[in-house]
Amino acid sequence: MRDALGLTGPLDGELWGSTLMGMLWSRRYATRLENVGSADYALMFGAPLVEAIGRMGGAGARIALSVIAAVDDGELGLRAGELARELPEDAGRAVPGWVAALGEAEITDAAVMRDEVFDDACTMFLEARHPDGNVHAVGVLIDHNLGGMAKDIMVVDSIDGVAQVMREHPGPNGALTLERISPGMAAGRIHAALELTDLTWDPSVSEDYADLRALALMRADETPRLVVAHDRPEMPSAERDRLRDEFLRSPEGQAFAPDSDEAYAVSLAIEFCVDYVDGRPLRWSPVVVELFMADWVPRKVVSDGELFARIPMALDAWVRFAGRKSNLPDWAVAATREAIPAWHETMLERSDDPAAAGPAKELLTAVQEAGIDIEDRHALDTFVAGWNARSAMG
């Protein structure tokens, strides 16, 4: 309440409230630990706070509750608003006029910043103006390599200010661009990215993410004519096979037989990008190579050492093929190819490490070690039932 009395305007208040909501967001997993299922974490942990504020009363309480009511879009915000309206006016200290402007920002502009070459991520900006004339922009970094989840959030003075910084510091190869887009489109992408992060267990996000999450959600909610971001259509199996066969007929892949380990490795590369990245099998970068070789293959692929020995050669050919099909600059193809040998040893080490395997790989490995024929449905079902029973007991 003392902090609330020191707030200076609507943006200051919204930032403060967003930080408070971020503290609650960081506790969201505890609802599962306390056996309350899919409980509203904000209400579960925030309700005692707003009730206590309401009992104390005063101008600080009215400001704090008004901020929470504006920043939280759920049951906690509704309860905070009810409590704020029930409080009597403080004869000794009036509530500042800016409190009425909370959550009343007008969205004035939007833009997307991206790397046009690798497109590993983009930052969606929404610019807003409060009734007091304060202008600011919220930027949400969306990671394409992690399926489009939000990883970082920033607050800047304006989109024009971002453009000026980019002109003064263009970066290597001048690949970073800033493009104006409709606010509705930016808000839709921000909504989808924040939701995906919420659905991800222990997501890898920046230190500021939790503090600014509620503010980003506010700006997206205030945007008129929001355009819902739809998932990229899943690439059918037949289309994946056609792409692999096109590669095998190409100059880059014609040395590999259709039934070779190299062809299988390319099928894995396509599956990885389509099902686990962002649905674009031809988009490869040094970071995508790292995620594929150092993380996905060790967790997902069960095979002997022969396949792992052939992955670098097959992936190098696939990267050259994908780069040609995508009109990727030569320097970008070269940089991506250089990442392949850099991660080969890590891939081999993690593939031999049982602790690095995912549940599916652990099961398949156990099936192989037990001598179970995966074509024998009865034997496989019996083994899986025993596996699940042992897992539940452990």
241 plus 352 within the same structural domain: yes
pTM (two decimals) = 0.86
What is the pLDDT at residue 304?
Answer: 72
133 shares its domain with 24:
no
User: What is the spatial distance between Cα 295 and Cα 382, in angstroms, rounded to a whole number?
Assistant: 30
End position of a domain, from candidates 101, 122, 145: 101
Write down which residue in 101, 136, 168 finishes a domain: 101
Half-sphere exposure of 140 (CA within 13 A, CB side): 32
Which residues contact residue 241 at a Cβ distance below 8 angstroms, ignoring those fewer than 6 apart? none
The pLDDT, as a whole number, for residue 94 is 82
Q: What pLDDT shows up at residue 3?
A: 94
Residue 172 lies in a domain: yes
Q: 231 in a domain, yes or no?
A: no
Residues in contact with 323: Cβ distance below 8 Å, sequence separation at least 6, in sequence order? 284, 332, 333, 336
Tokens representing 110? 């939007």
Check whether residue 155 and residue 206 sit in a common domain: yes
Whether 30 and 82 map to the same domain: the answer is yes
Q: Is residue 193 part of a domain?
A: yes
My answer on whether 253 and 325 are in the same domain is yes
Q: Does a structural domain hold residue 258?
A: yes
Domain total of the chain: 4
Could you tell me the residue range of the domain that residue 277 belongs to? 237-356
Decide: residue 255, CB within 10 A, 0-12 exposed, 13-18 middle, 19+ buried.
exposed
Per-residue model confidence (pLDDT) at position 39: 66
- Residue 386 structure tokens: 């025993």
Question: Measured between alpha carbons, how far is 158 from 128 in angstroms, rounded to an integer?
Answer: 9
User: Could you tell me if 75 and 125 lie in one domain?
Assistant: no
- Distance, in Å, from the CA atom of 290 to the CA atom of 284, rounded to the nearest integer, reads 10
- Rounded CA-CA distance 90/14 in Å is 22
In a domain, 62, yes or no: yes
Report if residue 55 sits inside a domain.
Answer: yes
Contacts made by residues 350-357, CB under 8 angstroms, sequence distance 24+: 350/294, 350/295, 350/298, 351/297, 351/298, 351/301, 351/308, 353/298, 356/298, 356/299, 357/298, 357/299
Do 331 and 346 lie in one domain? The reply is yes
Q: Are residues 241 and 131 in the same domain?
A: no
Contact assessment for residue 42 and residue 72, using Cβ atoms and an 8 Å cutoff: yes
Among 41, 75, 101, the domain boundary falls at 101
Between the two ends of the chain, the Cα-to-Cα distance in Å is: 47
- Contacts of 329-337 with CB under 8 Å at 24 or more apart are 329/117, 329/173, 331/173, 332/117, 332/118, 332/285, 335/285, 335/286, 336/284, 336/285, 336/286, 336/288, 336/289
Q: Is residue 384 part of a domain?
A: yes
90 with 162, same domain: the answer is no
Using 70 as the pLDDT threshold, list the residues of the chain that sit under it: 31-39, 90-92, 174, 355-394
Question: Which residues, including other chains, have CB under 8 Å from residue 215's CB and lie 6 or more apart?
Answer: 14, 15, 18, 71, 138, 153, 155
Q: Pairing relation of β-strands 176-180 and 121-129?
A: unpaired
Q: What single-letter amino acid sits at 290?
A: E
289 & 184 share domain? no
62 and 87 in contact (C-beta within 8 Å)?
yes
Q: In terms of Cα–Cα distance, which of 147, 111, 325, 113 is closest to 232?
A: 147
Are residues 248 and 330 both part of a single domain? yes
Same-domain pairing of 250 and 191 = no
Q: Answer yes or no: is 344 within a domain.
A: yes
Cα–Cα distance for residue pair 265/363, rounded to 1 Å? 21
Distance, in Å, from the CA atom of 187 to the CA atom of 228, rounded to the nearest integer, reads 8
**Residue 281, H or E segment:** none
In three-state secondary structure terms, 357 is coil
